[in-house]
Amino acid sequence: MFKILRSSMPVESICIMEVQAERIAKSCLPGQFIIAKIDEEGERIPLTICDYDEKKGTITIVFQIMGASTYRMSKLGVGDGFQDFVGPLGQPSEFTKEPVEELKKKKFLFVAGGVGTAPVYPQVKWLKEHGVDADVIVGAKTKDILILEDEMKKVATNLYITTDDGSYCRKGMVTEVIKDLIENEGKKYDVCVAIGPMIMMKFVCLMTKEFSLPTIVSLNPIMVDGTGMCGACRVTVGGKVKFACVDGPEFNGHEVNFDEAMKRQQLYKTEEGQAYLREKEGNTHHGGCGNCGGEK
Amino acid sequence: MDVNVKVPVREQDPKERAKNFEEVCYGYNKEEAMQESERCLNCKNARCIKGCPVSINIPAFIQEVKAGNFEEASRIISESSSLPAVCGRVCPQESQCEGQCIRGIKGEPVSIGKLERFVADWARENNIKPEGAKEKNGKKVAVIGSGPAGLTCAGDLAKLGYEVTIFEALHKAGGVLVYGIPEFRLPKEKVVSKEIENVISLGVKIETNVIVGRTIKVDELLDEFDAVFIGSGAGLPKFMGIEGENANGVYSANEYLTRSNLMRAFDESYDTPINPGKKVAVVGGGNVAMDAARTALRLGAEVTIVYRRSEEELPARAEEVHHAKEEGIKFNLLTNPVKILVDEKGWVKGMTCVKMELGEPDESGRRKPVKVEGSEFDLEVDTVIMSLGTSPNPLISSTTEGLDINKWKCIVADEEFGQTSKEGVYAGGDAVTGAATVILAMGAGKAAAKGIDEYCKKK
């Protein structure tokens, strides 16, 4: 069992957990993810790595309650654990392979949306530790669901927070902040990394293309094994089919077919939603109203 | 009784079994097994042994069955095979041991597979365990992958006194035996987990949730172990590259089977979602295609196999094709998909196919299918399962220095002992050959165990 050492729900429906996993902590780099499985009956859930600590041998994960398994996971506390916890999966971020001297010449812009703030954090932290500057834009629907603000402040060169409803800091979408920084504040960037909801990444890419700013996105499609075996996570990038788990999860955002990726993400939505309802309301959706598809 | 005919084996009624995941074949009982064993001619120069990739002494074990000495029969089999209950169920006997049987010239060959299965099942029911090493030799070997190649290699090395640790990427040991081959052909609790327990009882340790190449690298394993065996399996599923293939409702057979077998989507108590589909087309003609088709059928779908060659070229085991037909799977042979039709929401609504005819033999020796001009037609389906084989997984080869791969990106290993281009590293099974069978992987695991033993003795 992989023990949970720390667990909290800083905002409604988003959980942060620190999990004991020595081997993963030792080989982990920014950009990678893990798969967790709560128990025998649980699903294999790909999750973002928010932080890792080689000395303590721990991995910090962040997840939003989306379906039956994540709901059950959110009920776990300190001392509980995951039956299975595997990783690190995927390719590390491209910059981790570049010489630090080259990196120091570059200006990075990170754009994080919602839970996407979690995978952005270890990347910015890694750059900070290597003496590389990075500006960070964090977007959230509203003030109450903003996560990791203090942590991000410590590692970002400049942090720009924006909320859709204007309840905190700037008001508006992350794309407006990008435009503002480049056009009105005279900022120049060499690389943009955008991680968040698919729709946000799509619009960030449309905008950065206008500024000819190379942009990397991190995709989180449906997957089963996470090692390349199932092919569920296939995405079209530059007209070619790639597997997000072995070729990604980070890709050139200007080449990703977002519309197809968004459709594929809907694949099990109803199925997962049904399982979630079963968990919350008991086995009430098997009666067969004939409409919800719960009867199988 | 007619000596030219096999003692028939009892099976679940096709109408019944099309609706459940219980095992199709019941196997022989004691009387049936002993009766069938009478048909063995106990050839001096037994051709069946040469047909067996792990060289089981077939006539010797059958003679013991004839005499009712099932324990001794089991001991003889376990000299050569670590997974007899599996092989008795999934080996393509018709092209191996039984294909060589003298009885087969005039009539039907001896039912070697069913006899092996009987002996293995009897041994399990009577709690007969394989014999382990008397003492350890102090050497350590790491085995990557707990499928047929890895389990065989680990079992053989443990019997020789090695301390063996298997690293498995998934959360459950067994590889293709648990994620790929369905319950109705190879029961997981009753058969697979018991065979794995036997390997563990030899002293083999299994660590799940370790992805070699990611969690730990081969070079790190070499610091800790005297030798490494790579039996990591087949890899990434292939797709056709046709229009509409990324639509919702198109799956690789690997995904469909993994959801059902390993993640047990068919069992209500598991959270795993699966969209079984109502009208399913399975593209391909191998064992995996048959498994996917029969799984979809059991999940309630109407299923058609779409295969570009004719029945004669179907690569699946004869028994699987026969069972699939009995259960009501339709076969659209000499047919090839050209496009998947997609509705406005991104879901599959049909598949355009063309009819094919067989032309000249190609490099595989099989007659090459050629498109019949103007033969396009649409199949009405809501789900398409692609079962076209796999290409090698780059996780290990791309993270291990000095490990050569060939032009198909398979790991290069010599056939006799599984030696790779890297000292102390051996490989076998699908990672080397590309997708093949359980028994060939076992044969390779066995060969590598010999190679590793030689290497460690010299070291």
Residues of A in contact with B340 (CB under 8 A): none
Q: How far apart are CA B77 and CA B56, in angstroms?
A: 6
The pLDDT value given to residue A295: 26
Work out the minimum CA distance from A230 to partner chain B, whole angstroms.
4
Q: Which amino acid is located at B140 in the chain?
A: K
Using the structure block, give the residue that is written with the tokens 């009784």: B1
A285 shares contact with chain B (CB less than 8 Å):
no
- List Cβ neighbours of B209 (8 Å cut-off, separation of 6 or more): A84, A85, A86, B168, B169, B170, B171, B215
The pLDDT value given to residue A268: 62
Helices of type H across B354-429: 394-397
Q: How far apart are CA B416 and CA A61, in angstroms?
A: 46
Per-residue pLDDT tens for B101-120? 999 999 999 999 999 999 99
A234 shares contact with chain B (CB less than 8 Å):
yes
Residues of A in contact with B255 (CB under 8 A): 224, 230-232
Per-residue pLDDT tens for B160-174? 999 999 999 999 999
The pLDDT value given to residue B160: 94
Per-residue pLDDT tens for B245-285? 999 999 999 999 998 888 887 777 787 777 788 999 999 99
> Is it the case that residue A162 has pLDDT exceeding 70?
yes
Cβ atoms B344, A263 nearer than 8 A: no
The pLDDT value given to residue B346: 86
Mean pLDDT value of segment A10-37 = 94
The answer to whether B346 contacts A42, with C-beta atoms less than 8 Å apart, is no
DSSP A192: E
Work out the minimum CA distance from B217 to partner chain A, whole angstroms.
9
The pLDDT value given to residue A284: 39
Cβ atoms B355, B332 nearer than 8 A: no
A23, A40, A275: residue with CB nearest B210: A23
**Residue (of B198, B188, B52, B219) closest to B128 by Cα position:** B198
Work out the minimum CA distance from A4 to partner chain B, whole angstroms.
17
- List Cβ neighbours of B159 (8 Å cut-off, separation of 6 or more): B130, B131, B132, B133, B202
Work out the minimum CA distance from A189 to partner chain B, whole angstroms.
32
Mean pLDDT value of segment B11-26 = 93
The answer to whether B273 contacts A268, with C-beta atoms less than 8 Å apart, is yes
Measured distance between the N- and C-terminal CA atoms of chain A, rounded to whole angstroms: 33
Residues of A in contact with B169 (CB under 8 A): 86, 225, 227
The pLDDT value given to residue B141: 98
For chain B, give the percent of residues with pLDDT over 90. 81
ipTM for the predicted complex comes to: 0.85
A184 exposure class (CB count in 10 Å sphere: 0-12, 13-18, 19+): exposed
> Is it the case that residue B411 has pLDDT exceeding 80?
yes
Token pair belonging to B232: 């990591």
What are the angstrom distances between the C-alpha of B9 and each of A73, B5, B20, B27, B271? 47, 12, 20, 6, 37
Mean pLDDT value of segment A186-207 = 94
B215, B271, B345: residue with CB nearest A275: B271
A37, A243, A275: residue with CB nearest B171: A37
pLDDT band at B338 (very low <50, low <70, confident <90, very high): very high
- In B278-342, the DSSP E strands lie at 279-283, 302-306, 330-332, 335-342
Residues of A in contact with B247 (CB under 8 A): 263
Q: How far apart are CA B41 and CA B62, in angstroms?
A: 10
> Is it the case that residue A94 has pLDDT exceeding 60?
yes
The answer to whether B254 contacts A229, with C-beta atoms less than 8 Å apart, is yes
The pLDDT value given to residue A296: 25
Q: Please, what is the angle between helix B70-80 and helix B58-66, to 10°?
A: 170
Per-residue pLDDT tens for A30-85? 999 999 999 988 889 899 899 999 999 999 999 988 777 888 899 999 999 999 99
A268 shares contact with chain B (CB less than 8 Å):
yes
Suggest the residue from B206, B209, B275, B347 to mutate for an interface test with chain A (most A CBs closer than 10 A).
Answer: B209
The pLDDT value given to residue A283: 43
A92 shares contact with chain B (CB less than 8 Å):
no
Using the structure block, give the residue that is written with the tokens 């910015």: A124
The answer to whether A86 contacts B211, with C-beta atoms less than 8 Å apart, is yes
Cβ atoms B23, B6 nearer than 8 A: no
Suggest the residue from A230, A270, A272, A285 to mutate for an interface test with chain B (most B CBs closer than 10 A).
Answer: A230
Degrees, nearest 5: CA angle A18-A34-B177: 130
Cβ atoms B12, B22 nearer than 8 A: yes
Residues of A in contact with B300 (CB under 8 A): 296
A278 shares contact with chain B (CB less than 8 Å):
no
- In chain A, the DSSP E strands lie at 2-11, 14-20, 33-37, 45-53, 58-64, 81-82, 84-89, 108-113, 134-140, 158-163, 170-171, 191-195, 215-218, 234-237, 240-243, 250-252
Interface of B with A (CB under 8 A): 169-171, 179, 208-211, 214-217, 235-237, 239, 241, 245-248, 251-252, 254-255, 258-259, 263, 269-275, 300, 345-346, 393-395
The pLDDT value given to residue A267: 67
- List Cβ neighbours of B314 (8 Å cut-off, separation of 6 or more): B285, B286, B307, B321
> Is it the case that residue B197 has pLDDT exceeding 90?
yes
Using the structure block, give the residue that is written with the tokens 């449906």: A222
Q: Which residue of A has its CA nearest to B277?
A: A296
The answer to whether B248 contacts A263, with C-beta atoms less than 8 Å apart, is yes
Q: Which residue of A has its CA nearest to B209?
A: A86
Q: What is the largest CA-CA distance in chain A?
A: 64
- List Cβ neighbours of A5 (8 Å cut-off, separation of 6 or more): A18, A19, A20, A58, A78
The answer to whether A230 contacts B171, with C-beta atoms less than 8 Å apart, is no
The answer to whether A229 contacts B239, with C-beta atoms less than 8 Å apart, is no
**DSSP one-letter string for B35-66:** HHHTT----TT-HHHHHSTT---HHHHHHHHH
Q: How far apart are CA A81 and CA A272, in angstroms?
A: 22
The answer to whether B170 contacts A225, with C-beta atoms less than 8 Å apart, is yes
Cβ atoms B19, B44 nearer than 8 A: no
Q: Which residue of A has its CA nearest to B170?
A: A225
Secondary structure class of A218 (helix, strand, coil): strand
Mean pLDDT value of segment A170-189 = 92
Phi first, then psi: give them for residue B441, nearest 5 degrees. Answer: -65, -40
A266 shares contact with chain B (CB less than 8 Å):
yes
The pLDDT value given to residue A285: 36
pLDDT band at A271 (very low <50, low <70, confident <90, very high): low
Q: How many CB pairs under 8 A join A and B?
A: 118
**Residue (of A229, A192, A195) closest to A210 by Cα position:** A192
Q: How far apart are CA A226 and CA A242, in angstroms?
A: 13
Using the structure block, give the residue that is written with the tokens 């798969």: A35
Handedness of CA A89, B170, B268, B180 (dihedral sign): positive
For chain A, give the percent of residues with pLDDT over 70. 90
- In B327-456, the DSSP E strands lie at 330-332, 335-342, 348-361, 367-371, 377-379, 383-386, 390-391, 425-427
Q: How far apart are CA A43 and CA B355, in angstroms?
A: 40
A75 shares contact with chain B (CB less than 8 Å):
no
The pLDDT value given to residue A294: 30
pLDDT band at A123 (very low <50, low <70, confident <90, very high): very high
pLDDT band at A274 (very low <50, low <70, confident <90, very high): low
A230, A260, A296: residue with CB nearest B258: A230
A83, A224, A246: residue with CB nearest B258: A224
Residues of B in contact with A87 (CB under 8 A): 211, 214-215
- List Cβ neighbours of B161 (8 Å cut-off, separation of 6 or more): B133, B134, B135, B136, B137, B139
The pLDDT value given to residue A293: 31
Which helix (H) or strand (E) covers residue B220, if one does? helix B218-224
The pLDDT value given to residue A292: 32
The pLDDT value given to residue A291: 29
The pTM (predicted TM-score) of the whole model is: 0.89
- In A144-286, the DSSP E strands lie at 158-163, 170-171, 191-195, 215-218, 234-237, 240-243, 250-252
> Is it the case that residue A286 has pLDDT exceeding 60?
no
| Residues of chain A numbered 130-169 and touching chain B (CB < 8 Å) | none
The residues facing A51 across adjacent strands are A60
The pLDDT value given to residue B267: 79
The pLDDT value given to residue B55: 93
- List Cβ neighbours of B343 (8 Å cut-off, separation of 6 or more): B349
Residues of B in contact with A228 (CB under 8 A): 235-236, 393-395
A41, A43, A228: residue with CB nearest B395: A228
Cβ atoms A30, A101 nearer than 8 A: no
Suggest the residue from A49, A71, A224 to mutate for an interface test with chain B (most B CBs closer than 10 A).
Answer: A224
Q: Which residue of B has its CA nearest to A239?
A: B241
Using the structure block, give the residue that is written with the tokens 């070619």: A240
- List Cβ neighbours of A53 (8 Å cut-off, separation of 6 or more): A25, A60
A69 shares contact with chain B (CB less than 8 Å):
yes
The answer to whether B271 contacts A88, with C-beta atoms less than 8 Å apart, is no
Work out the minimum CA distance from A23 to partner chain B, whole angstroms.
6
